[in-house]
Chain A
């Protein structure tokens, strides 16, 4: 087996280094903004959790953004009611999301396949609609939930008087915005990744894959798929809740648009793009999509012209005209096309692409260390 303990430790090390050194690594791509880096980490966490339900267990949920929203709302309420310290907010966000996922999962998992997906779709839209109507006292509807000077913040008040102006989220006195905010997210991302690594390698993870591959066999092998799928659902919901709480920590605002099913669609894109069922894939997918969303969408005609300035004018204009459709506002178009390409030709996502390239490279250099196509290892 190639996924030995040593390989896993190397993977953890590599991942940790990459996460902590992200500002440096992002620099050449023009992505070294703390806000953007925070999003990389946060959506990476979201995608890792989603991957446990979709990649490992094979259940496609279109409602996970609801847990993101719930985590955000819970965290902001913690800020408003009790304290700006982030640890209670994180814990509360995760727990509320877990409870929500328990209910939604218990109902949705009574069906499988496309019926399950449609159930999650229906629940997501219901949550979204409720957040804008009945639950407005909790969610503040369209104006979104925000911090106010008039918030009670009981626990904080016990320790120090209210300062003028709105306070910011903090971890033992360190403000959680900018780079410190990013490092908080990065550390949690590393922990989240580690947990998912353990899950992949554990018997529990193997059972989940068994459910995905052959649920009938699972049943007849004495295993009850229901608690396994529910556990996977709740775990992925908790990851989403954590991501939502972090979103609120780095930007104390909670809006219901995060709960729409199209927002759930985004995490599906991330996971597939990166490589569904792999360990690192979802994080890569999350990073890529957030990069596209922020950097790609900022490229406009001027940038293109200056990039292609070495071309003669007529060709340059033609090239820019064509490319312009795909950048700037057209970034979603590019994403859609890329996504379709992946689903049709490279269903294993970028990770599969990398594997194929490595395999090709090995064959070309005549290396004997590459194993034949029939061999495998547990999801890398």
Chain B
């Protein structure tokens, strides 16, 4: 069952055709990677999934609901599509615990609730879950630290924790290991593998092939806005079209 169906998506920016008849089907529970050389349109495609960009044509259907048509990012999130950013987006001025509790409240209370009365500390149902999550990602001992002081790798872990607090149905990872050291990258891969055991569907946009081949069940290769190949990691490794796109005259 495809949890995300992308059909016939086209997007032009002036004279440039950024997305050219993109078709994609992401199976539920799968880890689906989207790779491709620079400028292939990966980020543009992702932006169409999260309500930031509106394609000229085509449809993006998540679990039966269209993600197009001016729907706000927060509404898409409430549907269960959660995004991890290239540069970890966290609440820098707040403690780790607070960072993790906000998504939990968002999931519980919806996009807006005027709950001014009961104290945050007085919410065991959220507090406990938040603490557990921090333990799971290995950040529990820093729960009262301000998140701005974390290392890049730890910020990524925090961000993943925040996303998981929302029990996402679909996790969109935008170059999750960008700019990371080898050690941090491996840690992230391990963490993502552990999450994988929950059966969350993941779409990963990546450049680092090691990450892709460690995690992905299925890979779509994007070049010049078009899906030029699709298949399992083994199939993609040997695909001459893919090799040409990366090494050949593609730009």
Contact = CB atoms under 8 A, between A and B. Distances in A.
Interface in B111-136: 111-123
A220 B74 contact: yes
Interface stretch (A12-20, A210-218, A240-248): A210-218
B77 A221 contact: yes
Interface string B209-220: 000000000000
Interface residues of B, number: 45
B93 interface: yes
A202 B117 contact: yes
Interface of B: 50, 72-75, 77-78, 82-83, 85, 89-95, 98, 101-103, 105-107, 109-123, 144-146, 149, 162, 166
A231 interface: yes
Mostly, the A contact residues are helix
Contacts of A210: 91, 94, 102
11 contacts: A201-B120, A202-B118, A203-B118, A205-B116, A210-B94, A213-B94, A214-B89, A219-B74, A220-B73, A221-B74, A374-B146
Nearest to B163: A221
Contacts of B162: 221
Contacts of A368: none
A198 B118 CA distance: 7
Interface string A189-228: 0000000001101111111011011101111111110011
Nearest to B101: A206
Contacts of B95: 376
Contacts of B119: 5, 198, 201-202
A198 B117 CA distance: 6
Nearest to B142: A374
A202 B89 CA distance: 23
A81 to B, nearest CB: 32
B112 to A, nearest CB: 4
Contact of A223 (B82, B106, B114, B115): B106
A269 to B, nearest CB: 23
A11 to B, nearest CB: 13
Contacts of A220: 50, 73-74, 77, 82-83, 85, 89
A124 to B, nearest CB: 26
Contacts of B91: 209-210, 213-214, 217
B144 A203 contact: no
B107 A223 contact: no
Given A1-B144, A198-B117, A222 B107 contact: yes
Most buried by B among A4, A205, A213, A227: A213
A369 interface: no
A213 B115 CA distance: 20
